[in-house]
Chains A and B, each alone.
Chain A
Amino acid sequence: MTETILKVEGATRRFGGLVAVNAVSFEIGKGMACGLIGPNGAGKSTMFDLITGVRPVSAGDIWFKGQRMTNAPAHARSPMGMARTFQIVRLFRGLSVLENVMLGLHPRFADGIIRALLGGKARAAQETATRARAMEMLDFVGLADRADARIEEMTLGQLRLVDIARALALGPDLLMLDEPAAGLNDAETDNLGVMLERLRKQGLSMLLVEHDVDFIMNACDRIVVMDRGTKIADDVPARVRTDPKVISAYIGQRAAHAAH
């Protein structure tokens, strides 16, 4: 296998008595697209939170690019090269579309208010470069003409794309998308698939959570399957598809749905 970019080692997260993520381990190789699937409540989003430091692990370790990130706060992890989106889009409603994407480049600025005040030409140049880069990102997702729009004027499909543009802005080494196709119509989903394919061709490593099984089987080199906090499979798409444990987990979910 190629160089490892992300290594999750026995990651565990408890919420009171509930073990949302239970001693899960897996690795993502550089340039690989890894899928993370599982029924609702399996712990996929929580796994994202643990990797990005939005929530601390109860036990276990997170390694990124060979460095132990377990105790690093969230704001220190994204400048290291990991970027994510959230299952429920979390854009800043007081900022325009462009400004939201510009925030993705925040770590490029020298830290602190006094440094900003004394920044002079260098800071002004950074601001200009940031705008240009953010416009480039919006162009990539096809929303350059909506740069000045407000968040509440956008459709959910567009918001997901803005979120992805913001995550891509800093040029991450690992892109993590939490159900990017949720709520999109067929055309938008196809469009998203094309975009992810392009990113994958560029060699970007990805971790993808998605409910649409066909979508994820196409988009990924490998699939990790979780059920009730535990990893139940970790293999290439073709074998995961026929894995009896995976099938029963999904059938269990259908049965639960049917019972409702």
Chain B
Amino acid sequence: MTANSPPRPTLAPVIFILVLGALLPFLLQSGFHMRLAMLIWIYAILSMGFNLLYGYTGQISLGQPAFYAIGAYGFAMLQVKLGWGPVPSFIGTLVVCAVVAVLIGLPLLRLRTHYLAMATLAFMLIQHGIANRWIGFTGGQSGIAIVPLQWGGETIGRTGLYFVVLGMAAAVLLLHDFLVRSHVGRAMQAIRDDETAAAALGVHVVKYKLRILVLSAVIAGVAGVCFTLTSLRVDPSLSEFHVLVSMLTIVVVGGLGTRFGPILGSVVVVLLPQVLTGFGELETIVYGAFILVFLLFLPHGLSSLIERRDFLAAFKARKPAGTGKEAAE
């Protein structure tokens, strides 16, 4: 009889987060607060995709905002230009994201990390250029407007829209959580930590990288669709560096490669500027200082406070440990 294996992580925290999310509309009074809540979920979706790709698989792709924009534009354009309904437009948009990700991923995955970062950044700039300059196609600076979502002939109100966004976020959260706790998540982390050792154990490294790149692109597309659903228009501002910086801040503040980092990080990144408006012109500086202080004291992100093992490790890491060094030799 062998010893019992350690307890497995449960779904409980996921359910807790979703219940909290479902209660929010009854707790928040103003429409402004509801908009912030939806924005948190949208950023959380985007960042979960990035977390799978970078946090868990170690692939630095900066193309996520571009897929976010393709999701947002695609959803609007399929409705406005082709007259498709919202559901076919949603599906069609995700298919476009997946196909573009495959086309980019095939050659890129042979390149080393920094080239992947640069090439995906270039892809983002190209996408941005198209959105801005190809006015006949994308509406240029003024963008494209869509009609609000309907249900049974009636426009869905703010609360209904919130639940649509929450539903998308729930689906992505469940997917994210399932993957990272499964053999797929183990393979992803193995690739991140040591590609050669992963391959020697039978992990098809290139195939996994491509799969996760495509999946994260589709998830970014879902976030983009949610953006269009809530703002009712798309314009080039959504693909600007702002989205990229927010996404990077979220995963770092929340904790890279952690189960709930993207959600915790999104709460901070969306709400912090609201709290800081009192600082007026100094807001940006205070915001930056806050993030810096945060990174100094919580280098493993907010998740490290919640995911016990990380928390303990963070403390142990402060003690001078000899054993780790020998192993790294």
A binds B: yes
Instruction: Contact check, B329 vs A103: say whether CB atoms are below 8 A apart.
Output: no
B187 to chain A, nearest CB (A): 6
Instruction: Contact check, B3 vs A113: say whether CB atoms are below 8 A apart.
Output: no
Instruction: Contact check, A136 vs B2: say whether CB atoms are below 8 A apart.
Output: yes
B309 contacts partner chain A, Cβ-Cβ < 8 Å: yes
B174 to chain A, nearest CB (A): 10
* 4 nearest CB pairs, A to B: A148-B6, A152-B324, A107-B202, A144-B3
Per-position binary interface string of chain B over residues 160-203, scored 1 when its CB falls under 8 Å from any chain A CB and 0 otherwise:
00000000000000010011001110110110111011111111
Given A136-B2, A153-B316 in contact, is the A52-B200 Cβ separation under 8 Å? yes
Given A54-B199, A92-B194, A103-B201 in contact, is the A139-B189 Cβ separation under 8 Å? no
Q: Other CB < 8 Å A-B pairs besides A90-B196, A154-B327, 16 of them?
A: A52-B200, A75-B199, A88-B329, A90-B194, A94-B193, A95-B193, A96-B6, A102-B186, A113-B179, A116-B179, A116-B183, A117-B175, A139-B2, A147-B5, A152-B323, A183-B326
Instruction: Contact check, A109 vs B316: say whether CB atoms are below 8 A apart.
Output: no
| The one of A73, A86, A106 that contacts B186, using a Cβ cutoff of 8 Å | A106
A211 contacts partner chain B, Cβ-Cβ < 8 Å: no
B261 contacts partner chain A, Cβ-Cβ < 8 Å: no
Q: Please name all residues of chain B whose beta carbon is closer than 8 Å to the beta carbon of A116 when the two chains form the complex.
A: 178-179, 182-184
B175 to chain A, nearest CB (A): 8
B12 contacts partner chain A, Cβ-Cβ < 8 Å: no
Given A113-B179, A116-B179, A159-B327 in contact, is the A75-B193 Cβ separation under 8 Å? no
Instruction: Contact check, B197 vs A86: say whether CB atoms are below 8 A apart.
Output: yes
**Contact residues of A between 121 and 155, Cβ < 8 Å to B:** 123, 126-127, 130-132, 134-136, 138-139, 144-145, 147-148, 150-155
Closest to B256 in A: A94
| The one of A92, A95, A96, A113 that contacts B184, using a Cβ cutoff of 8 Å | A113
Instruction: Contact check, B323 vs A127: say whether CB atoms are below 8 A apart.
Output: no
**Contact residues of B between 146 and 168, Cβ < 8 Å to A:** none
A141 to chain B, nearest CB (A): 12
A99 contacts partner chain B, Cβ-Cβ < 8 Å: yes
A156 to chain B, nearest CB (A): 4
| The one of A98, A154, A170 that contacts B6, using a Cβ cutoff of 8 Å | A98
Report the separation of the CA atoms of residues A153 and B204 in the bound assembly, to the nearest whole angstrom: 29
Query: Which residues does B use to contact A, with CB under 8 Å?
Result: 2-6, 8, 175, 178-179, 182-184, 186-187, 189-190, 192-194, 196-205, 207, 211, 215, 257, 309, 313, 316-317, 321, 323-324, 326-327, 329
Report the separation of the CA atoms of residues A76 and B203 in the bound assembly, to the nearest whole angstrom: 8
Q: Please name all residues of chain B whose beta carbon is closer than 8 Å to the beta carbon of A38 when the two chains form the complex.
A: none
Instruction: Contact check, A106 vs B187: say whether CB atoms are below 8 A apart.
Output: yes
The number of residue pairs between A and B whose CB atoms lie closer than 8 Å in the complex comes to: 140
Q: Please name all residues of chain A whose beta carbon is closer than 8 Å to the beta carbon of B329 when the two chains form the complex.
A: 88, 156, 183
Closest to A126 in B: B183
Instruction: Contact check, B193 vs A74: say whether CB atoms are below 8 A apart.
Output: no
**Contact residues of A between 41 and 98, Cβ < 8 Å to B:** 52, 54, 73-76, 78-79, 84, 86, 88-96, 98
A186 contacts partner chain B, Cβ-Cβ < 8 Å: no
A104 contacts partner chain B, Cβ-Cβ < 8 Å: yes
Instruction: Contact check, A104 vs B327: say whether CB atoms are below 8 A apart.
Output: no
A239 to chain B, nearest CB (A): 33
A92 to chain B, nearest CB (A): 4
Report the separation of the CA atoms of residues A76 and B202 in the bound assembly, to the nearest whole angstrom: 6
Closest to A110 in B: B183
| The one of B178, B203, B211 that contacts A112, using a Cβ cutoff of 8 Å | B211
Q: Please name all residues of chain A whose beta carbon is closer than 8 Å to the beta carbon of B186 when the two chains form the complex.
A: 95, 99, 102-103, 106
Instruction: Contact check, B190 vs A92: say whether CB atoms are below 8 A apart.
Output: yes
Closest to A134 in B: B5
Closest to A123 in B: B182
Given A89-B327, A116-B184 in contact, is the A166-B3 Cβ separation under 8 Å? no
A214 contacts partner chain B, Cβ-Cβ < 8 Å: no
Closest to A152 in B: B324
Q: Please name all residues of chain B whose beta carbon is closer than 8 Å to the beta carbon of A156 when the two chains form the complex.
A: 323, 326-327, 329
Report the separation of the CA atoms of residues A107 and B199 in the bound assembly, to the nearest whole angstrom: 11
Report the separation of the CA atoms of residues A126 and B323 in the bound assembly, to the nearest whole angstrom: 34
Report the separation of the CA atoms of residues A17 and B186 in the bound assembly, to the nearest whole angstrom: 39
A3 contacts partner chain B, Cβ-Cβ < 8 Å: no
B254 to chain A, nearest CB (A): 16
Instruction: Contact check, A127 vs B183: say whether CB atoms are below 8 A apart.
Output: yes
Instruction: Contact check, B202 vs A92: say whether CB atoms are below 8 A apart.
Output: no
Given A90-B196, A95-B186, A103-B190 in contact, is the A152-B2 Cβ separation under 8 Å? no
B203 to chain A, nearest CB (A): 6
Closest to B1 in A: A139
B257 to chain A, nearest CB (A): 7
Report the separation of the CA atoms of residues A126 and B183 in the bound assembly, to the nearest whole angstrom: 10
Instruction: Contact check, A106 vs B201: say whether CB atoms are below 8 A apart.
Output: yes
